[in-house]
Structure 1
Amino acid sequence: MSPLLLIRWDGIIVLIEYVVPVEQEKADIQATPALGQSTLVAGTVSAADTTAVVPSTSEESESQQPAQELADVETAEPQPDNAPEPDESGFLPAVKNGELPNPMRIFLIENAGSHEEVFGALIYAFAQIPNSYIYQYLFRPRFNIFAILKSFNLKNLAKPRFSVSMKLDEQEPQPDIILATTCEFDVTRLQPQMTEMLGNGSYLFCTIHHADRWHNESSYKYYNAIKPWIEAKRVTFLFLSGHTKRYVEETVVPSWEPKHRSAASKFEVFVPVFPVEPSAKEEMSFSLQGNYESVRRDYKSIFERFSAFAQNNPDKPQFQQLRMHLIGHGNHPEVPEVIRDRVEFNEGLEFLEFYKILSESFALLPAFASDEYYDRKASSSVPASLIAGVPIVGKRRLLETYDYMTEDSMWIQGDEEDDMAVIGRILEMSEQDIEDQKTRTRKRNREIIDENIAKALSWARMIEYRQNRTGQEPLKEGWTWEW
């Protein structure tokens, strides 16, 4: 019997029988240059020959300047007389038996030049919707994320186009669903196109990254840009973790106009994970991710403890073989000569190499830049640990904050333990116990992926999309589907 998933969305309870898709044979991936920036070639995004850089946490990659003042955004145009009639929630009743009778056009937009891991997860989940077609509009895809997308072996994913050149005309398909990867930038920088798509009946999934910038009084004006979508009942807000969702519910929504506060009923959590083949190589190593700044870590103390492991345990091979991967960027901290051959700085990584190195380690030590990653921001290190199948080290505060994690998919740090004490404790475990913990981490990643797919399927079945357009516009003409 296939697994059942119970989903509550906007007051509607849906019971879905979900069949986990069989893993498709992985396509051969040709190595391509890292994408430091992109150029527009014949209407598509192509890789420029640039030096690769390490995938950074999402919080480090965006401009911190407020958006310019927005012009007034028009509200949605009335629907045609022959359009299906939604109920008061703005949705059509679920289609019988969960079938989608018409093709579904999905626009994936990322207009900030960041958050590749997020649109990778959105693509993987929504591409599983039967009879769906995904069109990509990207601003500056980096770190050869295309190798990840190609590894999904999807036949319904079009080759990306440059987001700034996005035009909507009779020759282009009008979207039923818009996946705004970085909603803050997507709804402001592409305001004319977004207004037109709203008028054409599209439905928006708005992914929030900066929860504290959606206040009514915020100078960023994101709330102003999203108002027409709320009033048209055509937006669901996606949060990358439950704690950022709670922050907006408790801190931001009360600042909104009373007529808009009901939009909180369409707040959903979508964890940005996808499948990646782990490395076949196993080594006794742990990884530290993040900026090499000494203000984030006491590297002197870490290196001293690392040296002491080998000196104090001469008869234990796991301590003698231990290696450390510093995955990040910035000025290198000075490494003592005695351990220099066992400390590796990993920079210039593409996504596949990044996850490969992580998957070879038995633990990941994150470096949160501030306490904001425990209330209003979502760290990319936590989902990265799931994707790579390497348990992250964290106190119970991390487990409680990122509540999609489980005790057996991470290493719980004691209240009195520092990072290196946890590493020392893990080294005393058997190799089988360590491998079992990594296996459980990979299992948790697969569970969340399946949950994401089931959510996407349920949302697609309930969303009103313009059935009167079906068959009137080309689905594949003008786009490249074999790439």
Structure 2
Amino acid sequence: MLVRPFNTLVALLTAVIIFLAVSILWNSNNSPPTMVPFSASSPDSRVSVPGAYFLAIDTKRIADDKWFFEFAPFRTVYIVLPVPSEPDKVNIQSGAALGQSTMVGGTPPAAATTTTDLVAEPEKPAEEVKTPEPEPIIAPERNEYGFLPAVKTGELPNPMRIFLVENAGSHEEVFAALIYAFAQIPNSYIYEYLFRPRFNIFTILKSFNLGNLAKPRFSTSMKLDETEPHPDIILATTCEFDVTRLQPQMSYMLGNGSYLFCTIHHADRWHRESSYKYYNAIQPWIEADRVTFLFLSGHTKRYVEEQVIPSWDMKHRDATKKFEVFVPVFPVEPSTKEEMSFSLQGNYESVRRDYKSIFDRFSAFEKNHPDKPQFQQLRMHLIGHGKHPDVPQEIGNRVEFNEGLEFEEFYKILSESFALLPAFASDEYYDRKASSSVPASLIAGVPIVGKRQLLQTYDYMTEDSMWIQGDDEDDMAVVGRILEMSQQDIDAQKSRTRYRNREVIDENIQKALSWSRAIEHRQNRTGLEPLKEGWTWEW
């Protein structure tokens, strides 16, 4: 019978016809299709040929459709087609009769790939991509006092800009404390505008080792034109002078949404009827709800609340809701030297102290306690200014006048003493003025001598951070009592004073952080505009 050879011939002719048809359809690809030899692997295997599709032709299906009979011994013909160019890529899928295979985009499923007689060229390993080394961050160079240069665009994106202003030429210890506390605010940058900084306060600022403190400028150089940055926060160290002497600049910053922290020193000058007109200058800030008043002690705050606020317009009296106490203290490194000495701070005027009585008592200590070394070694430091009182010859070599000290030396001498005797000029330091001697004792870590009235007035003090003076004791009686104590007990009291200083510093920092979060009036807080270029430092 010639039927089977005839069927075989028909199958071959059909395959050739299909091959030619496919060639015409894919002619646009310049790469002609090729037929895999009939010795290729069975349909159950898959060959990975990069850049090609597989077209499977099942002769059994053709036969079942009565086009021709079963072709034997080769049932399936594989044709390799070139990959079409984008966007003409298509998915060529086989149905159930084709072994459920799917070839998408020229890449067969990885799990189905096996080694066959048709071996594709191995793919070249991908070149190793080397991650570039990050460029080292070059910190801006500080000057001898630790100040940074001007911040350029991009160097400090979207900082909280804080202007520290002191336009009276005093109160260095106050602005140093403000700087230390507010510099702890994350992403803050502090600009200093100072009128006349004294006694090398910059050495103290350098010891803070702050990375966000700019070089100082003269307060009168604050022009705030389009090249100047605008502050989010203004720290007015001596608010009485800052809001009046810099009134044009202050008004400009108020109009740009700045927030003011107004530090009050002269509580009795803020009356409505006062000739100083401080109340008039602060009214726009109160009405804009952009001011917090800072008091250096609780007693000055109470004075304004009770004696001053009733004179203000009713619409401004809610300002008391933003009355806060900020104690002007900061960290310093105490001296390692221990000296059997006590210090008096203040003006040497005899109206403040009876120096003759003090010197007589001093002389008596040596005579009355010849067997006690601490009385024989006692020294006295008079830290202040003014006309020197006459010192008896027998104690002349143990009384030292320390005048015009830089702040670093001032705190060093205080820290070596076991007690500080303040010289309040008047009783006003107990109701409306804040003495600098009380915070100085905390900063230096030397307990101040004072009656309970001082403890009640300066309520940030504690009994174990000062020498409490009895009602029937004068200053020298307290000194004599301390000299009777052991060195261990004296050192323990000084340690408690220094610990209290750290507590108050931490409280200041927490207050600054809390206040900064509460301020809603921010300028340029979108992150789109960092500090502007173009402005230069002056000093």
User: Which TM-score tier does this pair reach, normalised by the shorter chain?
Assistant: 0.7 to 0.9
The count of corresponding residues between Structure 1 and Structure 2 is 390
Q: Give the match for residue 304 of structure 2.
A: 248
1:106/1:176 contact within 8 Å kept: yes
| 1:121 maps onto 2:121 in alignment | no
Shift of 1:397: 0.2
Q: Deviations over 1:104-128 (max 9, x none)?
A: 1100000000000000000000000
Q: Structure 1 counterpart of 2:308, which letter? A: V
Q: Deviations over 1:233-267 (max 9, x none)?
A: 00000000000000000000000000000000000
Q: Give the match for residue 493 of structure 2.
A: 437
2:176/2:330 contact within 8 Å kept: yes
Q: Structure 1 counterpart of 2:457, which letter? A: T
| 1:152 maps onto 2:208 in alignment | yes
Q: How does 1:263-342 map to 2 (within 5 A)?
A: 263-342=319-398
Q: Give the match for residue 399 of structure 1.
A: 455
SS of the residue corresponding to residue 394 of structure 2 reads helix
Q: Deviations over 1:366-425 (max 9, x none)?
A: 000000000000000000000000000000000000000000000000000000000000
Q: Structure 2 counterpart of 1:253, which letter? A: I
Higher Rg: 2
Distance 1:308 1:217, change over 3 A: same
Q: Structure 2 counterpart of 1:129, which letter? A: I
Q: Give the match for residue 346 of structure 1.
A: 402
Shift of 1:171: 1.5
Q: Distance in 2 between matches of 1:106 and 1:470?
A: 17
2:165/2:236 contact within 8 Å kept: yes
Shift of 1:478: 5.4
Q: Structure 2 counterpart of 1:313, which letter? A: H
Shift of 1:456: 0.3
Q: Give the match for residue 184 of structure 1.
A: 240
- Mean alpha-carbon deviation: is it higher for 398-407 or for 463-472? 463-472
1:29/1:150 contact within 8 Å kept: no
Q: Distance in 2 between matches of 1:442 and 1:376?
A: 26
Q: Give the match for residue 224 of structure 1.
A: 280
Distance 1:122 1:428, change over 3 A: same
Q: Distance in 2 between matches of 1:276 and 1:383?
A: 12
Q: Distance in 1 between matches of 2:414 and 2:333?
A: 12
Shift of 1:362: 0.1
SS of the residue corresponding to residue 276 of structure 1 reads coil
Q: Structure 1 counterpart of 2:358, which letter? A: I
SS of the residue corresponding to residue 308 of structure 2 reads helix
Q: Give the match for residue 521 of structure 2.
A: 465
| 1:359 maps onto 2:415 in alignment | yes
Q: Structure 2 counterpart of 1:106, which letter? A: I
Q: Distance in 1 between matches of 2:327 and 2:405?
A: 23
Shift of 1:348: 2.2
1:172/1:474 contact within 8 Å kept: no
Q: Structure 2 counterpart of 1:423, which letter? A: V
Q: How does 1:12-23 map to 2 (within 5 A)?
A: none
Q: Deviations over 1:426-445 (max 9, x none)?
A: 00000000000000000000
- Mean alpha-carbon deviation: is it higher for 456-465 or for 385-394? 456-465
SS of the residue corresponding to residue 113 of structure 1 reads coil
| 1:427 maps onto 2:471 in alignment | no
SS of the residue corresponding to residue 315 of structure 1 reads coil
Q: Give the match for residue 195 of structure 1.
A: 251
Q: Give the match for residue 39 of structure 1.
A: none
SS of the residue corresponding to residue 424 of structure 1 reads helix
Q: Percent identity?
A: 86
Higher relative contact order (CA 8 A, sep 6+): 1
Q: Give the match for residue 21 of structure 2.
A: none
Distance 1:367 1:479, change over 3 A: farther
Distance 1:398 1:28, change over 3 A: farther
1:110/1:180 contact within 8 Å kept: yes
Q: Distance in 2 between matches of 1:28 and 1:465?
A: 31
Shift of 1:102: 4.9
Q: Give the match for residue 134 of structure 1.
A: 190
Q: Structure 1 counterpart of 2:304, which letter? A: V
Distance 1:416 1:389, change over 3 A: same
Q: Distance in 2 between matches of 1:356 and 1:123?
A: 21
Q: Distance in 2 between matches of 1:163 and 1:232?
A: 24
For normalisation by structure 1, the TM-score amounts to 0.78
Q: Structure 2 counterpart of 1:331, which letter? A: K
| 1:166 maps onto 2:207 in alignment | no
Q: Distance in 2 between matches of 1:435 and 1:478?
A: 53
Q: Distance in 2 between matches of 1:436 and 1:31?
A: 34
Q: Distance in 1 between matches of 2:535 and 2:458?
A: 38
2:412/2:444 contact within 8 Å kept: yes
Q: Distance in 2 between matches of 1:197 and 1:398?
A: 39
1:278/1:356 contact within 8 Å kept: yes
Q: Give the match for residue 368 of structure 1.
A: 424
Q: How does 1:234-245 map to 2 (within 5 A)?
A: 234-245=290-301
Q: Give the match for residue 49 of structure 1.
A: none
SS of the residue corresponding to residue 314 of structure 1 reads coil
1:364/1:391 contact within 8 Å kept: yes
For normalisation by structure 2, the TM-score amounts to 0.70
Q: Distance in 2 between matches of 1:28 and 1:334?
A: 47
SS of the residue corresponding to residue 439 of structure 2 reads helix
- Structure 1 gaps of 5+ residues are 1-26, 33-41, 44-100
Q: Structure 2 counterpart of 1:202, which letter? A: S
Q: Distance in 1 between matches of 2:253 and 2:145?
A: 36
Shift of 1:471: 4.0
